Structure 1
Amino acid sequence: MQVTSSQEEATAVVQETGRGKKTVLEQAGGTKGLVYSALPALVFVVANSVGGLKVGVLAALLGAGGIAAQRLVRRESIQPALGGVFGVAVAAGVSWYTGSAKDFFLIGIWASLAGAVVFGASVVVRWPLAGLIWNATTGKGVVWRTDRRSRIYYDVATLVLAAIFGARFAVQQYLYQADEVGSLGFAKIAMGYPLLAIGVLVVAWAARASDKRLKAVGLLPAKRT
């Protein structure tokens, strides 16, 4: 997906991990899903360098549509593919309108900044989003906020996610300003799910550490055996 709200992206992955139903890789659609998510940006960069902006835009749209069609034929879930088609369409539309190939990545760049700001601000106001999302998903409410140490664990996890979004913005904005379209495509792929997976692992650590702490102080009942 080329244009995704950074907050929604992190929220979706943390929610699925919190339910314990899917791993980070499964949430991304497995290895195949990671490849599919990278293809439209890669196709756009290659086609743009060969045939120009219009060819790049059309190739990216056809690639995203082809992925959706293949999943439909295989009777696989097409929800990720539909999201990808929508994202590519929006990114392609912006690029086509402005006449600049680098603008294919523009919305994603600023969405990363928004994600960094929102996650960082949640720590400042003492409602770290990592804790809110995880505990709302697992049905544990907000008891974790009454314990300072638990809140610190989730502060750390939330700041890691904010840093990931901030790094995406900083690197891609620099490449955008430098008109490095090819490098922008590479950065989008390399800084996508691989970095987000690291963030989710930190969230999982924070949740385990918080649960252990809350059980120790009697704020969370011990699991019955």
Structure 2
Amino acid sequence: MSVSNQPGGEPATQLGTVRVGPEEDAAAEAARQAAASKEAADTVMQAFGGVRGMVDMTLPGLVFIVTYNITHQVSAAAWAALGLSGLFVVARLAKRETVQHAFSGVFGVAIGAWIAMKTGKAEDFYLPGLLWNVGYCIVFAVSALVRWPLIGVMLGAVTGEMFTWRRQNPGRLAAYVKATWAWVVIMGIKPVILFPLYFTHNVNLLGWLKVALGIPPMLLAMYVTWQILLKAPPPIKAQLDEEPEEQPAGADRS
């Protein structure tokens, strides 16, 4: 703001452009990056189906063990769990929601129910899930070792960065590797605890612990991932190839 004298001798004020110093620029950029990192971190729950997705995959196991304790029949318990999984899919379809996690739950329950009814052993209902947990941890560990962390692969499509973290954002690649290892460690707790129980044929203890270890470890893994991504560099959005501009009619195409 500058001051000048008018012909009558009275001072007049003239507003000038407010200039922002480098400190303000740096603070604004830091705030922008922090907001972008938080937005990206908040996509963790969305990518894994949220609480609803975890419930869809956990409740059938609870229904199985409750029904088995009431009826003492493997087939009745298996059909009850499978029926609940089917209801979850129908409910999501009716609401036009994503059925990815509900369908994965039905698939796992169907295999477990089929094996349990074939062998007549209630503990076999949980065998596919235990094997899935082991395979899950192995695949995640391998992806981290080869620097293609699955957490980055899964979240890239949600955040819009796709695979820019692979070559353009080394800090984010390191964060995804760290988060993937966190999932290996946390989710690896389940098979370490449950597999020995499977071989003891203690169906009740196996079933109740399977339910108890369903949601809490996933929530913990999501929280740890959220904390890691909160401190990571913000994602670099993937740039789609621009389509060539259309030439006006009658333009020279030579």
TM over 0.5: yes
State which of 120, 125, 146 in structure 2 corresponds to 1:99: 120
Partner of 1:6: none
State which of 170, 182, 185 in structure 2 corresponds to 1:160: 182
How many Å separate the matches in 2 of 1:117 and 1:78?
27
1:28–1:193 CA contact under 8 A, matched in 2? no
- CA RMSD, Structure 1 to Structure 2 (Å): 3.4
Partner of 2:14: none
Q: Equivalent residue of 2:232, what SS?
A: helix
Q: Does 2:33 align with 1:46?
A: no
Q: Structure 1 residue 104: deviation in Å?
A: 0.2
1:150–1:209 CA contact under 8 A, matched in 2? no
How many Å separate the matches in 2 of 1:136 and 1:65?
28
Partner of 2:191: 169
How many Å separate the matches in 1 of 2:102 and 2:150?
27
Partner of 2:211: 189
Q: Does 2:147 align with 1:126?
A: yes
Flag the 1:199–1:24 CA change in 2: closer, same or farther, 3 A. Answer: farther
How many Å separate the matches in 1 of 2:54 and 2:124?
23
Amino acid at match of 2:199: Q
Q: Structure 1 residue 23: deviation in Å?
A: 4.2
Flag the 1:43–1:162 CA change in 2: closer, same or farther, 3 A. Answer: same
Q: Does 2:108 align with 1:87?
A: yes
2:82–2:106 CA contact under 8 A, matched in 1? yes
TM-score scaled by structure 1?
0.69
Partner of 2:134: 113
How many Å separate the matches in 2 of 1:44 and 1:162?
27
How many Å separate the matches in 1 of 2:153 and 2:58?
30
Amino acid at match of 2:129: G
Amino acid at match of 2:131: W
Could you tell me which runs of 5 or more consecutive residues in structure 2 were left unpaired when the two chains were aligned.
1-38, 238-254
Percent identity, aligned pairs only, is: 28
How many Å separate the matches in 1 of 2:61 and 2:124?
12
Partner of 2:11: none
State which of 163, 167, 179 in structure 1 corresponds to 2:201: 179
Q: Structure 1 residue 96: deviation in Å?
A: 0.8
Q: How does 1:129-140 map to 2 (within 5 A)?
A: 129-140=150-161
Amino acid at match of 1:111: W
TM-score scaled by structure 2?
0.63
Flag the 1:84–1:158 CA change in 2: closer, same or farther, 3 A. Answer: closer
Q: How many residue pairs get matched?
A: 196
Amino acid at match of 1:102: E
Flag the 1:125–1:39 CA change in 2: closer, same or farther, 3 A. Answer: closer
Could you tell me which runs of 5 or more consecutive residues in structure 1 were left unpaired when the two chains were aligned.
1-16, 215-219
